[in-house]
Structure 1
Amino acid sequence: MTRIAVLQMTAGIQPGANAATLYEAAVQGARGGAEMLFTPEMTGMLDRDRSRAANEIVAEEDNPVLASAQAAAIETGLWIGLGSLAVQGVGGRWANRSLLVAPDGSIAARYDKIHMFDVDLASGESWRESNAFEPGSEVVTADDTPVGRLGLTVCYDLRFPALFEALGQRRCDAIAIPAAFTVPTGEAHWHLLQRARAVEASAWVIAAAQVGEHEDGRRTYGHSLVVDPWGEVVLDMGGEDAGVGFADIDPARTADVRAQLPSLANRRSIAN
């Protein structure tokens, strides 16, 4: 049994303040007996004003929030699944990058969000992530974490089953889906899709989320979730408040589900 901590946060436009929130969450997580902390998408800064945000987006090695996560990991002994940061990429574009920080402060895995959030919602919200961010192209997993083999995804990736098919084929024990979901899409699909992905991959889903009213004027849905491989929600942090929640990841539950319903073993390739 592995205890994890999940940070639900209301990130602002100042990386320093967000770094302090992350650090305190790690301390709180360690005090609560966790071995890993998971944080949301854009833990470092949530700012829809890209001109303003550009002043704070730096290369990975210069990022103060990553530095804070590394220091917190070393001090607390936690693994930290840093949901994502906006970092300088190649050719002047940015990357929406998830990083797994080991207890010695080293980077155990990096994943750049593959699917860009380019949508026009009925609420009037319009988002064009691809205008500033370069999409990733690699499926990423990390072995030998406290939750076993961990698959990395970010937010809008949730809607693309092929990525989770690939993670299922790699026999991930858990999949991180950090997010900053909008309220309309969250109300419609958040719980449904998180539970579906857990069932499809026969894996735990850990979805740390942004919540509430942000400095840049947006609202996010919250409801950070932990879902077991049978699709049962074992943690739902609600849609109102930021904070740290805890859940216990039981590998015996994974083995039991895969024995009862061996969909991964039964899967066959289908020709196009």
Structure 2
Amino acid sequence: MTKFGVVQMNSGMNPDDNLEMLEGQLKHLREQGARLVLTPENSLVFGSKEDYEKHAEVMGHGSLQKKLSQLAFELGIWLVVGSFPIRNNDGTLSTACLVYDAAGNLRSSYEKLHMFDVDIADNHRSYRESDTFRAGDNLVLVDTPFGTLGLSICYDIRFPQLYAALRQRGADIIVIPAAFTKVTGVAHWEILLRARAIETQCWVLAAAQCGIHQGGRETYGHSMIVDPWGQISGELADEIGSVCVDVDLASNKAIRSKMPVLQHARLQCAMK
């Protein structure tokens, strides 16, 4: 058994405030024995295009990434930062999931594949993520002492072919950091998370933003950890906090042995 944790936040545009909130939750999870922790999408910066432009850093460099690395090292945890604004060489921005090992090394990163360009019946109404970020192109898996992580971010959850491809390439654990709107969260969040776990026969870690944020955007919360049978092992409501559960990767093998869906699949995913 290994303890995994997810953090739920109400992030704003000020990285220092967000870091203080995050540090407290990470320390709490470490005290409970968590070895791997996932944070929500937009953990350190959650605001407007101007906010992301202001605080974006080059991959692997910058004061904010240094603080994240230090937190992973000081607490001795694998830290998966749901998303962070990265400045690319061509001047564009990406929103990337960052994976730090327990020594504070940046092991891998994943640029969000699917941009949230939709209209929602809430106070924000129109979401156009592609106005701020460029979409990524690649699947990313990360080998850890606990199993292989498959990386994704928020809106990716609506594209099951991504998760089928992660499973085909060896994922044991799938992370889905998010800032789901309250409207879509009420309707689809739990259903989609459990479906992705059932389809892939993977553990799913889902860390979410919650509450009302600066600018009036409202997010759903309900961070959770789902086992490979689709059962919820731990869940939060709509408040800032964290949850930690014991994860037994032997359950993946048992379920996959009894129901070998990957071997039975007639259609294979052709993603990169």
TM interval, shorter chain, is: over 0.9
Match of 1:258 among 252, 256, 265: 256
Residue 23 of structure 1 contacts residue 69 of structure 1 at CA under 8 Å; is this kept in 2? Answer: no
**3-state DSSP of counterpart to 1:60:** coil
Distance 1:161 1:186 in 2: 17
Distance 2:98 2:53 in 1: 20
Distance 1:270 1:194 in 2: 22
Among the aligned pairs, what percent are the same residue? 38
Q: What corresponds to 2:140 in structure 1?
A: 140
The superposition leaves residues 127-168 of structure 1 with CA deviations (integer Å, 9 ceiling, x where unpaired) of: 11011101000100011342x010000000000111111011
Amino acid at match of 2:136: G
**3-state DSSP of counterpart to 1:119:** strand
**C-alpha deviation, 1:20, in angstroms:** 2.0
Give the TM-score normalised by the residue count of structure 1: 0.94
Q: What corresponds to 1:199 in structure 2?
A: 198
Q: What corresponds to 1:40 in structure 2?
A: 40
- The reply to whether residue 105 of structure 1 matches residue 104 of structure 2 is yes
Distance 1:78 1:164 in 2: 25
Distance 1:236 1:178 in 2: 14
Q: What corresponds to 2:30 in structure 1?
A: 30
The superposition leaves residues 182-217 of structure 1 with CA deviations (integer Å, 9 ceiling, x where unpaired) of: 011101110111001001111000000000011232
Once the two structures are overlaid, the 10-residue window that deviates more, 94-103 or 250-259, is 250-259
What is the number of residues matched between the two proteins?
A: 269
Amino acid at match of 1:257: I
Q: What corresponds to 2:216 in structure 1?
A: 217
Equivalences for residues 154-165 of structure 1 within 5 A: 154-165=153-164
Equivalences for residues 38-77 of structure 1 within 5 A: 38-47=38-47, 49-77=48-76
**3-state DSSP of counterpart to 2:174:** strand
**C-alpha deviation, 1:52, in angstroms:** 4.1
Cα 1:74–1:271, aligned 2, differ >3 Å: closer, same or farther? Answer: closer
Q: CA RMSD in A?
A: 1.7
Consecutive unaligned residues in structure 2, runs of 5 or more: none
Q: What corresponds to 1:238 in structure 2?
A: 237
Give the TM-score normalised by the residue count of structure 2: 0.94
Distance 1:84 1:7 in 2: 13
Cα 1:270–1:173, aligned 2, differ >3 Å: closer, same or farther? Answer: closer
Cα 1:207–1:108, aligned 2, differ >3 Å: closer, same or farther? Answer: same
**3-state DSSP of counterpart to 1:81:** strand
Residue 98 of structure 1 contacts residue 111 of structure 1 at CA under 8 Å; is this kept in 2? Answer: yes
**C-alpha deviation, 1:37, in angstroms:** 1.2
Q: What corresponds to 1:5 in structure 2?
A: 5
Equivalences for residues 170-209 of structure 1 within 5 A: 170-209=169-208
Residue 93 of structure 2 contacts residue 134 of structure 2 at CA under 8 Å; is this kept in 1? Answer: yes
**3-state DSSP of counterpart to 1:172:** coil
Distance 2:170 2:61 in 1: 34
Amino acid at match of 1:83: G
Once the two structures are overlaid, the 10-residue window that deviates more, 52-61 or 218-227, is 52-61
Residue 26 of structure 1 contacts residue 78 of structure 1 at CA under 8 Å; is this kept in 2? Answer: no
